[in-house]
């Protein structure tokens, strides 16, 4: 199922063809060429004008044939009115990327309260390396992608964000050390916790010197929305003084960390890191991304387990919108 719209300039004859599918939106700008058309090529040429009887190929855009799994015997012509424009606008605002979020919290030496932990605006050198390798550093101000609640107007949550994406998925990291501090302790904790406290998945860089499980972390960060903590503990703890001094860091491949996924008692822990794993610093960022992304997907399905067994993906949402649009106008406009 797809939606094709065209806009043609009467002055230049150029036509912008937009094809909206559940998997994304593509556009092509078509115009009449000046090259001579041979008899052989003319037979294969289909225009976007009314004399295009078949109406299934628009330049380099191919519409599925009725016989294909993605095709349909129906072609609906939609009216050009405000209702259709609003429905198309809603579809355009639904990104084809599955967007997820995960918190990343640094716990320093002997820190045991969330007020103290959320005052951190930096961390150890290896923590900084991991943050850099998690994804791309992008500006928040004026961002057009889904920032997962981070302010994109006034730098209230910091000027930059770490985000990882591929062609179908993006993962935004709420990194508390990248968020500015407020002079008021309670306000500072509230501003940072409104992000990580609403994340189903949080990564903990545990440089405190002691072990942490879900219960101990819940006692520090009480809240009802976090289902999963991914606890990263360096094999060699960095002291408070060392985090404030420049030193020659060991090669990433020579650093080692224990990684363990701990969950709420009522949440199924099916992670590959349910039992503690040891991983090198060179492999750690990729492992954390995979663990966080898997748990983000799992947490969304678990949260809606009583309503539906389906994963609420962006593609599924766009497909449902296209279907509703078709059903609304099928009887009237077929």
Domain boundaries, the chain: 3-93+313-333, 98-303
pLDDT of residue 110: 87
Q: Which residue has the tokens 């640094």?
A: 106
Which CA distances in Å does 199 have to 103, 162, 212, 259? 6, 15, 19, 19
User: Which tokens in the block code for residue 205?
Assistant: 């860089």
98-303: CATH, from 2.60.40.10, 3.40.50.920, 3.40.50.11210, 2.40.340.10: 3.40.50.11210
The one-digit pLDDT tens for each residue of the chain (334 residues) are 788 888 888 778 888 888 888 888 888 888 776 666 554 544 444 444 444 444 444 455 666 677 776 666 778 888 888 999 999 988 888 888 889 999 999 999 989 999 999 999 999 999 999 999 999 999 999 888 889 999 999 889 999 999 999 988 999 999 999 999 999 999 999 999 999 999 999 999 999 989 999 999 999 999 889 999 999 999 865 555 555 454 445 688 888 999 999 999 999 999 999 999 999 999 999 999 999 999 999 998 888 877 766 777 888 888 889 988 888 887 654 4
Please, what's the b/e burial string for 192-203 (b: 16 or more CB within 10 A of its CB; e: otherwise)? Answer: bbebbbbbbbbb
**DSSP SS3 for 115:** helix
pLDDT of residue 52: 45
pLDDT of residue 13: 80
pLDDT of residue 49: 45
Q: Which residue has the tokens 């990263």?
A: 232
pLDDT of residue 192: 95
pLDDT of residue 34: 64
User: Which tokens in the block code for residue 78?
Assistant: 């939609």
pLDDT of residue 294: 95
């Amino acid at each position: 199922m797809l939606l094709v719209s065209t806009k043609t300039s009467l002055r230049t004859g150029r036509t912008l063809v937009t094809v909206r599918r559940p998997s994304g939106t593509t556009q092509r700008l078509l115009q009449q060429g000046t090259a001579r058309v041979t008899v052989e090529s003319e037979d294969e040429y289909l225009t976007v004008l009314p004399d295009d009887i078949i109406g299934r190929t628009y330049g380099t855009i191919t519409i599925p044939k009725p016989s294909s799994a993605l095709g349909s015997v129906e072609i609906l012509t939609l009216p050009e009115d405000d209702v259709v424009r609003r429905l198309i606008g809603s579809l355009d605002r639904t990104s084809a990327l599955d967007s997820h979020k995960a918190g990343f919290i640094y716990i320093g030496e002997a820190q045991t309260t969330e007020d103290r932990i959320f005052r951190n605006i930096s961390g150890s050198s290896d923590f900084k390396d991991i943050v850099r390798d998690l994804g791309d550093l992008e500006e928040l101000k004026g961002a057009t992608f889904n920032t997962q609640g981070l302010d994109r107007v006034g730098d209230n949550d910091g000027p930059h964000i770490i985000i990882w994406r591929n062609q179908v998925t993006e993962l935004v990291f709420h990194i508390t050390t990248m968020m500015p501090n407020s002079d008021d302790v309670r306000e500072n904790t509230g501003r940072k916790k409104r992000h990580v406290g609403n994340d189903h998945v949080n990564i903990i860089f545990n440089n405190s010197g002691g072990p942490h499980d879900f219960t101990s972390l819940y006692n520090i960060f009480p809240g009802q929305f976090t289902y999963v903590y991914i606890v990263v503990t360096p094999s060699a703890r960095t002291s408070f003084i060392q985090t404030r001094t420049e030193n020659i860091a060991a090669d990433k491949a020579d650093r080692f960390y224990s990684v363990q996924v701990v969950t709420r008692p009522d949440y199924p822990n099916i992670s590959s890191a349910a039992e503690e794993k040891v991983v090198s610093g060179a492999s750690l960022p990729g492992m954390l991304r995979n663990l966080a992304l898997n748990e983000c997907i799992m947490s969304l399905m678990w949260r809606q387990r009583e309503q539906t067994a389906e994963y609420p993906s962006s593609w599924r949402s766009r497909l449902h919108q296209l279907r509703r649009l078709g059903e609304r106008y099928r009887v009237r406009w077929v």
